[in-house]
Structure 1
């Protein structure tokens, strides 16, 4: 049976995510290796997923369409230039998942590895924060809102689900912060 306890999101995870956005060099020198050895890796990945979900819900209206997602990723790809590691199809699927697209048939990690998903989530969050012109305090507010949503989520629902489809649905609700 899956663990039904919520991931432990620590101050370290919050500081690491904040550093990723505002001081990537510090993130690389201080946090990247420490996170790879973290005894609680789900804390950081959960915080990243919920933070990205919060940022996406702020960016996209409730009436978003698939065309909106495709256009956003295309514009992001152009803005990042040819040197980017952005995989458009992966970015689109992550966005659709976090916006709770009921038509999305694929399940994470969408044919990628966990490193590819993590890198894509990092790129998307950095772009969304830059576009929203968030300062350090506003980013901490977003991160704290995401941590609150993660804490409020009923993690026992994940442990009780029996099928892969329902697990995916519950996981999507967890990541998007849809706690109702």
Structure 2
């Protein structure tokens, strides 16, 4: 037996926004697999592996920690909807930027402390398919550019300019 429940226009008007909200939340949960905010686990692990392979004398990546959302790490930009890492900004400051930031130390000492001192760019960065911006200018990487960077089909900006001296 089907029972008909009368609804007024007012109750429908009040219920509709809640329906839209619930539908949106539900669809986001289906699209992304969970309601947890934060970066993609495989991308966080790749960035942590990247950090482990670096010489980081200035400790500039010290806040890159497993317990912190990698979308909140300095130099990491994520997509607001998908949480994929889109951009990596790990460049060193130019001399003008350095002195423009009211720094008091010598620029060349800063460069000695802030570069990655000739280590190779890790190959697994090529697995971060959503990456669209990669700026390592003045960061002091060395060696051959890994061919795996060719897998970055969304990459729109790449700067591997020299070490800034």
**TM-score, normalised to structure 1's length?**
0.21
Q: Which has the higher helix share?
A: 1
Q: Which has the higher strand share?
A: 2
**Structure number with higher relative contact order (C-alpha < 8 Å, ≥ 6 residues apart):** 1
